[in-house]
Amino acid sequence: MRSVTTDRVVIVGAGLAAVYAALKLAPRPVVMISPDPLGTGASSAWAQGGVAAAMNPADSPEAHAEDTERAGAGAVLREVADYVTRAARDHILDLTDLGTGFDRTASGDYVLSREAAHSIARVVRVKGDQAGAEIMRALIAELRETPSVQVLEGAQAVRLETDGDRVAGVILTSSSDAGSKPVLLRGAAHLLAGGGSGGLYALTTNPPRIRGQVIGMAARAGAVIADAEFVQFHPTAIDAGEDPAPLATEALRGEGAILIDRHGHRFMQDVHPDAELAPRDVVARAIYAQTQAGNRPALDTRDAIGGAIGSLFPAVVQACARNGIDPVSAPIPVAAAAHYHMGGVATDLKGRTTLDNLWACGEAASTGLHGANRLASNGLLEALVFARACALDIADALPLRESVPEVPLSFEPGGAVPDPRSITDLRHVMTDKVGVVRDAAGLRAALTAIARLEAAHAPDDSFRNMTATATLIAAAALRRKESRGAHYRSDHPEPLPGPGQRSRLTLGEAMALRDEVAKDTV
């Protein structure tokens, strides 16, 4: 295998966490690995809600941390929640200085929205539902003017090279040529910021490439994975047959939109005192139950928002228009879709993983902030806080080298080619067996099916990363014999007594459980 060595920091990913970390590392030279043109393939740009931060004088970081802990169903690390919520305001001001056009009142205050499980309006937004896209626009503009950053577009990380417990490099292939030979890139340090796992599911709101590859890659190298079973399903993906499904942002419900069944009944009032603003896991299970019962759940914005929806939530209206839906005159059909992975590569407060010379941030990481159920709009906030934490720690670990040549990279044909049909089969296994509602029989069947699919495609690193993450999610879900937050077991519907516990699992442990299940089914 051809190898290239550089004194640059290698950043795997091109979303918010990756771009922000690259900016915070400047003037230290970095090289970013971006499978798609910068700004087009990451979940960050699709985020509609905004960034949660205590910007209102009536609010406080302590209240934000309490809401985070409450939503996380007993699995949040309070020291992490305190650390993140205290930093939130500074990051909003920083993004503003970098050119993010947050919505402001006539007097200059930030417009704040209330989303599910928040005790107060504290979500800072842009043009209603354009926060992710606008933040990425501003940061990428700054990145283009930062000479220390090199972006390798069209490259995809598929494996980590290790020397014992130390990461020595990242193996890359071409993202545009599935049959390219891999290249080993050895960097001064390595940061994983490459997204979550929602695309492992057949029904998802995530971009097409976000299928657990980064988490799987770290797991295959021996990194500990935390809270893998906690996958958040967004209650209101627009159910119109698109893959991925467009998102009807939670801010719509914050503005008063209601959930109704096909008979027009507002069913969330029967489920939770907070109705549509109940925690996401509660609303997602209610939506799922309505779907399973054939009641065709829908989000009704007509009375609460009416004709203003076009100016307040343009992305939602555009998605509806593509599918022949007019939210001004008709409800929007919705379904629960895989949206955010609370689990990921286990990190500390500095973003360090359990492998030396490897850091992680963004959705690929599991910091302990989200627990069993991410509080709405804490995802972008966590990405910002830990991207900076990683950058500061990496900078402390490396000598300052400001003049480093760019990485020369080219790919030759001759690599393994993934099988689209197997990816489709894997996604359906995850939705059918490891979805909103789980049980032991389904999880065991999932592990058996994942093993079969993996065995048929052993040479393909990208697919093995997907099956590694799928195995970790299913195995952790099988081991957790309780229901907590986004993890719901119909055969264990109550939480265990006492404080919630986080899970920590290596791929070796998950594979051992998978093998045990296989023996039991023979």
Sequence-distant (≥ 6) Cβ neighbours of residue 217 within 8 angstroms: 157, 158, 159, 160, 192, 461, 465, 468
252-297 pLDDT per residue, tens: 998 999 999 999 999 999 999 999 988 888 999 999 999 999 999 9
Higher pLDDT, 410 or 30: 30
Which segment of 105-114, 354-363, 488-497 scores lowest on mean pLDDT? Answer: 105-114
Query: pLDDT tens, 437-453?
Result: 999 999 999 999 999 99
Domain boundary among 299, 314, 336: 336
Residue 46 belongs to a domain: no
- Whether residue 102 has pLDDT greater than 90: yes
Using alpha carbons, select from 35, 31, 14 the residue that is nearest to residue 411: 35
List pLDDT tens digits, range 176-195: 776 688 999 999 999 999 88
What was the pLDDT predicted at 356? Answer: 98
Residue 462 resides in a domain = yes
Q: How far apart are CA 328 and CA 472, in angstroms?
A: 43
For residue 148, is it within any domain? no
Which residue, chain included where needed, has tokens 């049959």? 179
Task: Give me the mean pLDDT over the 115-129 stretch.
Answer: 86
pLDDT reading at 522 higher than 80:
no
Q: β-strand 358-360 against 189-192: which pairing, if any?
A: parallel
Q: Are 472 and 341 in contact (CB under 8 A)?
A: no
Count of residues in the chain: 522
What the block records as the tokens of 375 is: 């509080």
Q: What's the mean pLDDT in 150-156?
A: 93
Q: Which residues of 226-243 are buried (b: 16+ CB within 10 A; e: fewer)?
A: bbbbbbbbbbbbbbbeee
State CA 423 to chain mean position distance.
19
- Give pLDDT, residue 251: 83
> What is the structure's pLDDT at 415?
60
Q: Percent helix, strand and coil across the chain, each rounded to 5? A: 40, 20, 45
Q: Is residue 465 part of a domain?
A: yes
What pLDDT, on the 0 to 100 scale, is given for residue 88?
Answer: 98
CATH number of the domain residue 475 falls in: 1.20.58.100
Name the band, by pLDDT with cuts 50, 70 and 90, for residue 417: low
d(Cα 60, Cα 44) in Å, to the nearest integer?
25
Instruction: Single out the catalytic residue among 114, 220, 280, 374.
Output: 280
220 among known catalytic residues: no
DSSP line for 200-222 = GSSSBSS-TT-SSHHHHHHHHTT
Last residue within a domain, chosen from 336, 362, 388: 336
Name which residue leads in pLDDT, 39 or 193: 193
Confidence of residue 163 (pLDDT cuts 50, 70, 90): very high
Please determine, for residue 346, whether its predicted confidence score (pLDDT) is greater than 80.
yes
pLDDT score of 41: 66
Tokens of 197: 């796992």
Distance (Å, whole) CA 415 – CA 405? 28
Residue 412: pLDDT over 70: yes
Range of the domain at 480: 420-521
Q: What is the pLDDT of residue 340?
A: 94
Assign residue 517 a region (left: φ > 0; alpha: ψ between -120 and 50; beta: otherwise).
alpha
433 pLDDT exceeds 90? yes
Helices (H) and strands (E) in the chain, counts: 14, 20
Q: What is the residue-averaged pLDDT of the chain?
A: 93
* 115: pLDDT strictly greater than 80: yes
- pLDDT at residue 39, as a whole number: 76
SS3 331: coil
Please name the helix (run of DSSP H) or strand (run of DSSP E) that holds residue 396, with its range, or none: helix 378-397
Q: Is residue 316 part of a domain?
A: yes
Residue 126 has pLDDT above 90, yes or no: no
Pairing of β 2-5 and β 183-186 = parallel
Kindly state whether residue 345 falls inside one of the protein's structural domains.
no
CB 261 within 8 A of CB 297: yes
In a domain, 328, yes or no: yes
pLDDT by residue (tens digit) across 321-343? 999 999 999 999 999 999 999 99
CATH code for the domain in which residue 294 is found: 3.90.700.10
The whole-angstrom separation of Cα 478 and Cα 472 is 10
pLDDT at 114 over 70: yes
- 115 in any annotated domain: no
Count how many domains the chain has: 2
Domain boundary among 317, 336, 355: 336
